[in-house]
Amino acid sequence: MKILILCTGNSCRSQMAHGFLESFDKRLTVRSAGTEASGKLNARAVAAMKEIGIDISHHVSDSVDKYVDEEWDYVITVCSGANENCPVFPGKVNRRLHIGFDDPSHATGTDEFIRSEFVRVREEIKSAFCKLYKEEIMPKKTIGFFEKYLTVWVALGILVGIGIGHFVGDGIEVISGLEISRVNIPVAILIWLMIYPMMLQVDFGSIKKIGKKPKAVVWTLIINWAIKPFTMAFFAWIFFDKLYAAWIDPELAGEYIAGAIILGAAPCTAMVFVWSYLTDGDPNYTLVQVSVNDLIILVLFIPIVGLLLGITDVIIPYDTLVASVVIFVVVPLVAGVITQRILLHRRGIKWFREVFLPRLKPVSVVALLVTLVLLFAFQGQNILSNPLIILLAAVPLVIQTYFIFFLAWFGGRKLKLSHAVCSPAAMIGASNFFELAVAVAIALFGLQSPAALVTVVGVLVEVPVMLSLVAFANRNRY
């Protein structure tokens, strides 16, 4: 999209508006010009923009004549109609707008007063152009059919699974008994099929870019590994051990807490790309953040889960935990890297991203839904005897999601992270790698365990909660 911003001198207001639009969306082609171009930028305007992290010092003050022969989607005049004549653009334009602002370069008085006028006009320009961008210019993002209705598919999987469990009865034990070292073979295959496509997207080369914006990656790691697992354990303990004591057997409360801890220790890998896209996040930097977290999982997931389960007095077989991480993280990660390198070498990155990955996606979708059906078939009798448990399990998970998101969001803004980086960073912290959590919970506690049930409830509530956070991020774009 091409946008031309006009005023008279093209040294102040139009330049600030130009800078804001480019900061909102780097895909826009934005130019500014004036009917009586001064040939240089106003130093106070440059300084005012630099205060909020936008550098316009490289802009050039151009004459409108330079752009007359081009076609524009928008031409926006920013002069104040009361005191000056707004430029008339004779070229071809799809939409003309006028958004008037006072010219702060005409301010007189003390240096402090003049500076305050530049700040005032800057904030007025930011507010007006942000509103324009969100309401008219910003491309309307859409979510894929499966992702959009994931909660519906999960709910259907739950109903089908519970129905199978009810009508088949003890016959379901035949499948649940297919285990090796406490790992159920059918479920392990299904979960591997879910995780492998995600690992194909890990780009180790992108990790080299950390040095360009280390602050955002460090903040993501602090949220995901120093805060999130511990707050999840806290909320789970408060609800399952204390507030729910009247509804949950104290002997089972520990396993519900364990499921929440496992879920909280696994930061999102795949769905975060969807959330980043919907909030106009930087896709390349999102990939960096996800790739780093995937590698950190290899190092920190086991000790953090072991530590928190130990604190909550849950006995944990470390050999099973280590085996789970190897089976469900290391093996698909290695397989994904090998597959990625072979296909990139033979077919190229365009084919890999636009043909291969979309073709593989249904495999992951089907595996997820079949896994949910099996899990709830195994859990069917427990749920029918206590249907309230799904609602009870959802409450601390929802509270944790909102808490971590807002902590990451406002902390990122305090650190002066751009919207395109802060938004996906907050989304990564808020959402979970539920495929890994489900796999580990099953391996440690069994298919019919409360821990496995909690991780699946996490899948159920994640999409509607995350979509509400996407809406919040888009409403509060900065």
pLDDT tens digits along 117-131: 999 999 999 999 998
Of 429, 430, 432, 450, which is closest to residue 441 (Cα–Cα)? 450
> What are the structure tokens assigned to 390, written together?
């799904």
Q: Which residue has the higher pLDDT, 143 or 12?
A: 12
**How many other CB atoms are there within 10 angstroms of residue 474's CB atom?**
16
- Asked if 463 and 153 touch (Cβ cutoff 8 Å), the reply is no
Region 394-411: mean pLDDT is 95
Six-digit token pair at 365?
A: 């979708």
**Taking the mean position of all CA atoms in its chain, how far away is CA 336?**
22
- Name which of 140, 195, 133 is nearest 5 in CA terms: 133
d(CA 161, CA 365): 16
pLDDT of residue 195 exceeding 80, the answer is no
309 pLDDT tier (thresholds 50, 70, 90): confident
3-state helix, strand, coil in the chain (%, to 5): 70, 5, 25
Quote the percentage of the chain above a pLDDT of 90: 31
pLDDT surpassing 80 at residue 315 = no
- The predicted-structure confidence for 424-445, as pLDDT tens digits, reads as follows 889 888 988 877 788 788 878 8
Taking alpha carbons only, the member of 222, 228, 218 closest to residue 262 is 228
Whether the CB-CB separation of 286 and 422 falls below 8 Å is answered with no
| Tokens matching residue 214 | 């280390």
Among candidates 350, 323, 388, 62, which has minimal Cα distance to 181? 323
Chain CA centroid to CA 95, Å? 33
**Average pLDDT score over residue span 36-50:** 90
Across 210-214, 248-252, 276-280, least confident range: 210-214
Q: Is the pLDDT of residue 2 over 80?
A: yes
- 13: closest CA among 125, 127, 133, 128? 125
What is d(CA 318, CA 156) in angstroms, rounded to the nearest whole number? 34
Is residue 84 helix, strand or coil?
coil
Lowest mean pLDDT across 99-108, 272-281, 456-465: 272-281
Query: What φ, ψ does residue 311 adopt, rounded to 5°?
Result: -65, -35
Tell me the chain's radius of gyration from C-alpha atoms: 27
Third-level CATH fold of 145-475: Na+/H+ antiporter like fold (1.20.1530)
Helix (H, G, I), strand (E, B) or coil at 67: helix
Strand 183-184 relative to strand 179-180, pairing: antiparallel
Residue 178 DSSP one-character state: -
Give the model's pLDDT for residue 96: 92
Return the ∠ at Cα 247 (arms to 244 and 250), rounded to 5°: 75
Beta-bridge partner residues of 267: 432
Domain borders along the chain are: 2-137, 145-475
Query: Across residues 203-225, what is the average pLDDT?
Result: 76
Catalytic residue among 79, 130, 268, 422: 79
pTM, entire model? 0.63
> What is residue 207's predicted lDDT score, i.e. its pLDDT?
59
What element of type H or E holds 402?
Answer: helix 388-414
Residue-level pLDDT at 203: 65
Is residue 352 a contact partner of residue 343, using CB atoms and an 8 Å limit? yes
Q: Confidence class of residue 474 from pLDDT cuts 50, 70 and 90?
A: confident
- Does the active-site annotation cover 79? yes
Provide the mean pLDDT of the chain.
Answer: 83
pLDDT confidence tier of residue 165, bands split at 50, 70 and 90: confident
Contact 84, 12 (CB under 8 A): no
Give residue 302's pLDDT band: very low, low, confident or very high (50, 70, 90).
confident
Give the DSSP per-residue string, 332-392.
HHHHHHHHHHHHHHHH-HHHIIIIIHHHHHHHHHHHHHHHHHHHHHHHHHHHHH-THHHHH
Higher-pLDDT residue of 380 and 291 is: 291
Q: Which of 7, 12, 130, 422 is catalytic?
A: 7
Class of the 2-137 domain?
alpha beta
Contacts of 123 (CB under 8 A, 6+ apart): none
Closest by Cα among 161, 188, 185 to 174: 185
For residue 82, the model assigns a pLDDT of 45
What ranges make up the beta strands (E) of 144-216? 179-180, 183-184
Cα gap 275→280, rounded to integer Å: 9
> Does the pLDDT at position 18 exceed 50?
yes
Model confidence at 72, in pLDDT bands (50, 70, 90)? very high
Question: Is residue 94 helix, strand or coil?
Answer: strand
Phi, psi of 279 (to 5 degrees): -105, 15
Helix 450-475 vs helix 357-385: crossing angle, to nearest 10: 120
